[in-house]
Every structure is written in structure tokens, then in C-alpha cells.
Amino acid sequence: MAKKKRQGRPPKPAAKQKKRYLQVRVTDAEKAAFDRAADIDGKLLAVWVRERLRKAAEVDLGRKGEAPAF
């Protein structure tokens, strides 16, 4: 008897899985501005925030001669 084919997206490799959460408290005005900026950029808020944080980490670590681990 053949196995049933699983429905849905195949699982991501372990190295690509996001396993940690980062919680940040912001004001209503900050949240609205971040939402609007992400919308203008055509991205989900989480994607927009992650991209900006990665860029900031690269700049700050680069000043110290370090490379980010991502």
C-alpha cells in the first residue's frame, strides 16, 4: 500500500527555520509608523522589521570589524 502524499508546504531545512521570538514594546505611534512603512515597501511587518534589524546589525558590527552570524 502506497503512502498518502502529505498536503501543504514541505518543511524548511533546520538551518532556515526561525525558532526564536523577539518581543519589543513600542508606542501606538511607532507601531502605526512601522506598519505604514512596511506597507509602502510592500512587505509584511515582520519581514520589514527583520530586514532593518539585519542591516543595522551589519553596520554596527562592521564598525567593530565583526561579521554577523547570519
pTM of the model: 0.75
Q: What is the mean pLDDT of residues 21-47?
A: 97
Average pLDDT over every residue of 50-60:
97
Q: Quickly count: other Cβ atoms within 10 Å of residue 57's Cβ.
A: 14
pLDDT score of 49: 98
How far from 2 is each of 5, 6, 7, 28, 63, CA to CA, in Å? Answer: 9, 12, 15, 54, 57
Mean pLDDT, the chain, whole residue set: 93
| Identity of the residue numbered 20 | R
Residue 55 confidence (pLDDT) above 80 = yes
Q: Which amino acid is at 18?
A: K
